[in-house]
Amino acid sequence: MDPATAGARELARALASRSVSSRELVRYYLSRIEGSELNAVVTLDTVRARAAAAAADEEIAHGRGRGPLHGVPITVKDAIATAGLRTTGGSPELAGHRPAADATAVARLRAAGAIVLGKTNVPTWCGDIQTTNDVFGLTRNPWDPGRTPGGSSGGSAAAVAAGLCGFDLASDIAGSIRIPAHFCGVYGLKPSVGLVPGDGYVDHVGAGLVPPDGNVLGPICRSADDLALVLEVLTGTPVPPWRTGFRAAVWLDDPSCRVGNASAEVLSAAVDAFAAAGAWVEDAEPSDRFDDLWQLHLDMVLAAVAYNLPDEGLPPATASHRGWLARAEDRARVRARWARWFAGFDVLLCPVTAMPAFPHDLDGDIGSRVLEIDGESRPHLSTIGWCGLFSVLGLPTVVIPVGRTAAGLPVGMQVVAAHGHDATAIAFARWAADVTGGYHPPPGDS
């Protein structure tokens, strides 16, 4: 077993059989972190991690196990509260912040035996699709250090892809799990809204007491099987076993968010492979227009993060409570339509973004930066609409690696299921891994 590429379930089995010790795993991952130039893990909890590993080994030796993650070393996004361990949200304002308590999700992982090694980097206030801030600096993509790992969970995905931990606990409100998973070639789960406790999210929206509307916590892993394992721990509900015979709707492009040729070719080939392997696939765009869903997403996200913003420039739906209630009603109606739409399909297959990982661009901000795709200059925000659709809908979405571009960059695909059917999206991801190959480690030793 190679801990750099092994999944959390494989690590847990090895620990239970005593073929490896938790102390060995902690020592191994800490060494990889310290030798990495990615700047993915930015705060370490070395002393407590080593002590927890020693205790875990002692418990295993006496036939006692805390749970399915007993002794497995993990990391946590630096926007999720960890008791006594620096949690900054990428902001100098919180550079010395040490929460008094774990987020509930972190506490559940620890109760199941997981050992927190440290925190993974984020952009300032988690507000970008690249990962850099004035506290810790720039995080690099293990597939190409000259490119971004995505954001805002860029450190999370880079750490998992590079084998610096067993898995990572991250968050997503507008693609923050899904974009980095896509850029780094790993698996990410944005759970159904309301499924996983969201308290302890530390950013400018309320210092972790009230999670932003629509924000969810979920895992980034090296396998779909690990997504199931972690979700079981986070929710206390077993994820059903594997299945086949999927009915998959396919929506691979839209005039409102054209997908670049480099990614489109990989996505199309993956769908063909799924069909050849026995999935029932059908091109089936939903009835709601892309633009309408995207605008609804923007309205609701801006409202969610407007707590600490000036009144000037806010749209009416954000500036007035009455306006927000009207948009919330729009969202409820759209979600009801999609619940009915999913009666005909198990999953919907979509792009994550219009492009694979792109070179670092630190000029300006996410609202002013542009990216060239197939000869066309496009604003950064215009390339991530595919994520926003399923954020505002609150639907469970798994990102699966489905191949690489001609330039060798990973390409992920969104697997979307009906609300509350997270297990269906994960089941498809498990099945698809045998078709498209799943996770592959990046070249070299990151």
Answer for the pair 26, 118: CB distance below 8 angstroms, yes or no: no
CA distance 280 to 263: 22
In the three-class reduction of DSSP (H, G, I as helix; E, B as strand; rest coil), residue 385 is classed as helix
* Active-site pick, 77, 119, 190, 223: 77
* Active-site pick, 36, 91, 171, 176: 176
17 burial via Cβ count (<10 Å: 0-12, 13-18, 19+): exposed
Cis bond upstream, residue 152 (ω within 30) = yes
Where would I find the beta strands (DSSP E) of 173-278?
A: 187-190, 216-221, 247-250
Is 446 labeled as catalytic in the residue annotation?
A: no
At 297, list the tokens: 């997403």
CA distance 323 to 311: 14
Is 152 labeled as catalytic in the residue annotation?
A: yes
Give the residue carrying structure tokens 């197939």. 374
The pairing of strands 247-250 and 347-351 is parallel
What percentage of the chain's residues is helix, strand, coil (to nearest 5)? Answer: 40, 15, 45
At 174, list the tokens: 């507008």
DSSP secondary structure of 104-162: HHHHHHHHTT-EEEEEE---GGG-SSS---TTT----BTTBTTB---SSSHHHHHHHHT
Q: How far is CA 339 from the centre of its chain?
A: 23
Q: How far is CA 75 from the centre of its chain?
A: 13
Is 223 labeled as catalytic in the residue annotation?
A: no
Buried-state track 108-123, b at ≥16 Cβ within 10 A, e below 16: bbbebbbbbbbbbbbb
In the three-class reduction of DSSP (H, G, I as helix; E, B as strand; rest coil), residue 38 is classed as coil
* Active-site pick, 21, 36, 91, 152: 152
Answer for the pair 250, 284: CB distance below 8 angstroms, yes or no: yes
CA distance 30 to 183: 24
At 291, list the tokens: 């633009």
* Distance linking the first and last C-alpha atoms of the chain: 18
In the three-class reduction of DSSP (H, G, I as helix; E, B as strand; rest coil), residue 392 is classed as helix
Residues recognised as catalytic: 77, 152, 176
